[in-house]
A and B are shown apart, each in its own frame.
Chain A
Amino acid sequence: MLKFWKQFGLTIVLSATACFAADKEHGTVIGPVTLYVAPDATAQQLGRLTRGRDIYLMDHTMVDGKPWSHLLAVVEVDAERGTSREISGWVNANVVITISTPNGDQIIYGEAVDSESQAEMRGGRKHAAEDAMRLYYRLYEYFPTSPLAGEALWRAADIRWQMEKSDVMTRPSSREMDPDLRNAMDDQTIKLVIKKFPHTKWADLASYDLIDNKLCGAWKGEAHCPEKESDLYEKYVREHPTSPKAAEALYNALFREAALVEIYKTTHEQDKSEHARKKAIDLAQELAAKYPEGDWKPRAMELTFALQQNIPIYGQGGASSTK
C-alpha cells in the first residue's frame, strides 16, 4: 500500500513538472533589461539581461498598469570563460518576445539587423555583434518554420565565424604558410546551416566560409599555396554554381592562377607559367559568360588585360596580399 502511494505521489509530481515545463514559453529579450526579485522596479536587482538571451517565460502579471514577466533566464557569469547560469526573476514584459508574440520572428530579426548595423558603425554599441548573433540564433531556435529561419541561422553562424576569424588573424600564427599551424575557426554552427538548410543559398554561403580554414596565411612567393587555393575555389564553383559567392570564388581562382604566372617565372618554369596564364584567361572568360552581373566581370576583364599586357599582378609591381 505504501509502495502504491509512493508511486502515485511520484506520478503526480512528474505530471506537474511536465505540465509546468510545457506551459513555459521559450523566447528572448530585444533590449537590455534588469531582472528583479519581485515585479517592482524598486525591488532588489538580480542581474541584467542583454539582447538575445535565452529565456523561459513562467508567469506574467500587471502591477500599476505595467506588464511584468517572470522569467528563467540564462545569464553570463564570466564572459571571458563563457560560463553561464540560470536565474529567475521579474522583468518589464515589453521587451520579452516569445513564440506566441505576433510577428515575433520579424521583431527579433529586425532587432538583430539593428544590432548588426550598430556593430558595423564607427563608435557603435559595444558587444552589438554578439547581441546580433544571439538574436539571429534565437529566431532560428524558436521560430524554425519562419521564412527568416534559414537566413537567421546563417547570419548567426557568419557573425561567430567572422569574430573568430578576426581574432585568429591577429595572432602571429596567422602568418604561417600552413593553415594547420594556426587555430582553426570552429565550424560547428556553419555546418549546422548546411545540415539544416541543405541546397539553399545559406548552405552555399556557409560552404564558402569554410574555405577560410584551408587558406594559407602567406604564400611567401611559393607556388604550393596559390595552386591549392585555386583548386579549392574552382571546386567550390563547380559544386555551388548558383551560389551568390560563385563569381567571387571564380575570380579568386583566376587571381591565384594569374599570381602563379609570376611565381613560376621567378623559378624559371616557363611551361607552368604559360599554363597558369591560359588557365587564368579561361577562368576569366567563364566568369564573364556565366556571371555578367556585378563587379566580378569587369574585375576579371581587367585581370585578363593585365595578363595580356604582361603586367605583373603579384610580387613586384603587383598585389602583395594573398587575396
Chain B
Amino acid sequence: MVKQWKQFGTLALVVLASALSFAADKEHATVLREATLQVAPGPVSEKLAEVERGSDLVVLEQSNADAQPWIKALVTLVQGDKVQGEKTQGDNARQVTGWLPARSVVTASTPNGDLIIFGQAADSEQRAEERGGRKGAAQDAMRLYARVTELFPGSPLAAEAMWRSADIRWQLEKNDSAHIATQDLGPGERKMIDEKSMQEIIKKFPNSKWADLAAYDLIDNKICGSWRALAECPLKESAAYEQYAHEHPQSPKAAEALFNAAWRQAALVDIYRIDGDKNKSETARKKGLALGQELVNQNPPGDWKPRAADLVYKLEKKIPVYGAAE
C-alpha cells in the first residue's frame, strides 16, 4: 500500500514537473498592431477576438497558411477588448486561444525585440498626445511598455519602459472623472490613485532616476483638489515637495519640487495676509525666499532657475502670487 502511494506520488510529481516545464517552455510575446484572433490559420476562418497592441500572448504553435506564417497563441484579454463583437466586462481578464498572423508578433527571441516594442510604444504615446490621435493609443503605449519589461527584463530599456507604463497608468487614473469628482473631498474619502505600479518601480530599481520619478508621482496622492484659500493644504504640500527635493537631490524632478515648495510658501504669504496674520505671512515670505534662493543657487538646467528668480523678485517686492493679481 505504501509502495502504491509512493508510486502515485512519483507520478504526480512527474505530471506537475511536466506541466511546469510546459509553462516554462512556452514563449511569451506581444503584437505591435491590432490583430484578429481566428479559429484556424488563413484568411477565411471564423473570428474569435480582436487583440490590441501590447496584449500578452503565449505562443503555442506555429504554422504556414496562404504562404504566410501564423501563430497559435493563448491571449489574455482585459476589460475593453472585443470578443466576438462584444466587449469583455468587469476587471477580470479572460484567456482565449486562437490563430493570428505572425508578422506583427514580437517574441523574446526576436532580434532587437526590446527596441521594436519600445519604438511602437513611443509612437503610440505620441499619437495619444496628438489632437485627434488614435483612440486608445495611451492604453496601447501602456501595455507595450509593460511588455518590454516582461519580455526583456535584461534590456537597458527595461527600467524606463516600466516607469513609462506606470506613469501612463498613473496619469490616466489621475485624469479619470471618478478621481477628479472626489478630489475636493478629505483624504479618507478621496479616490486615491493606485500606487502599486509606482511602488514596484521603487522596489525593483531603487536609487535610480526611475525610482525618483515614481516617488515624485506619489506626491499627487497628497495634493488637495482645492485650497479654498485656507493655509492647511499649501502648508502640507510645501512640506511634501521640500521633503522630496531634499531626499531626491539627483532627481530630474528635484528642481521642480523645490520650486513647487517655494511657490506654495509664496501663496501662503497672501493667504495669511488676507487672514490678518502678519507674523505667519512674514515667516512664509522668508521661507519662500530661502527655498527660491536655494533653487537659484543650485543653478539647475532648464527653466527652473529663471522661474525661481521671478518668484524671489515677487517675494522681495511683495507682489501677490495667489488670489487677486493686484
Contacts and interface: CB of A to CB of B under 8 A. Distances in A.
A107 B157 contact: no
Contacts of A148: 306
B317 interface: yes
A298 B325 contact: no
Given A103-B313, A107-B310, A114-B307, A31 B119 contact: no
Interface residues of B, number: 31
A106 B326 CA distance: 22
B310 A298 contact: no
B293 to A, nearest CB: 12
B23 to A, nearest CB: 28
A110 B103 contact: no
Contacts of A299: 119-120, 122-123
B178 interface: no
A185 interface: no
A62 interface: no
A32 B32 contact: no
Interface stretch (B110-118, B184-192, B193-201): B110-118
A111 B308 CA distance: 10
Given A110-B308, A302-B117, 13 more contacts: A30-B314, A31-B319, A31-B325, A32-B326, A92-B326, A94-B318, A295-B118, A298-B115, A298-B116, A298-B122, A301-B119, A309-B103, A317-B33
Contacts of A58: none
A7 interface: no
Interface in A273-312: 295, 297-303, 305-306, 309-311
A33 interface: yes
A113 B119 contact: no
Interface of B is mostly: helix
A103 B317 CA distance: 14
Contacts of B157: 298
A94 B122 CA distance: 46
A34 interface: yes
A303 B306 contact: no
Nearest to A67: B317
A110 B123 contact: no
Contact of B306 (A34, A95, A106, A306): A106
B305 interface: yes
Q: How large is the interface on A (under 10, 10 to 19, 20 to 34, 35 or more residues)?
A: 20 to 34
Interface string A34-57: 100000000000000000000000
A163 to B, nearest CB: 14
Given A34-B326, A311-B33, A113 B123 contact: no
Interface of A: 30-34, 92, 94-95, 103, 106-111, 113-114, 148, 295, 297-303, 305-306, 309-311, 317, 323
A32 B321 CA distance: 12
Contacts of A297: 115, 119
A106 B319 contact: no
A317 B104 CA distance: 11
Contacts, number: 90
Contacts of A92: 326
Interface string B285-326: 000000000000000000101111111011001110000011
A277 B104 CA distance: 18
Contacts of A103: 309, 313
Contacts of B117: 302
A107 B309 contact: yes
A317 B119 CA distance: 18
B305 A106 contact: yes
Nearest to A320: B134
A301 B306 contact: no
Contacts of A30: 310, 313-314, 319
A301 B104 contact: no
Nearest to B112: A301
A32 B119 contact: no
Contacts of B33: 311, 317
A271 B257 CA distance: 56
Contacts of A114: 307, 310
Contacts of A309: 103-104
A106 to B, nearest CB: 4
Given A103-B313, A113-B307, A311-B103, A305 B326 contact: no
A303 B32 CA distance: 11
B319 A302 contact: no
A307 to B, nearest CB: 11
B310 A111 contact: yes
Nearest to B296: A106
B115 A106 contact: no
Given A33-B326, A94-B318, A302-B32, A110 B119 contact: no
A107 B313 contact: yes
Nearest to A301: B115
Contacts of A95: 317, 319
Contacts of B310: 30, 106-111, 114
Given A33-B326, A298-B115, A302-B116, A107 B122 contact: no
27 contacts: A31-B319, A31-B325, A33-B326, A92-B326, A94-B319, A95-B319, A106-B309, A109-B303, A110-B305, A110-B307, A113-B303, A295-B118, A298-B115, A298-B116, A298-B157, A299-B123, A300-B119, A301-B115, A302-B32, A302-B115, A302-B118, A305-B106, A305-B116, A309-B104, A311-B32, A311-B103, A323-B130
B122 A295 contact: yes
A310 B112 contact: no
Contacts of A306: 32, 104
Given A94-B319, A301-B116, A110 B311 contact: yes
A69 to B, nearest CB: 12
B306 A302 contact: no
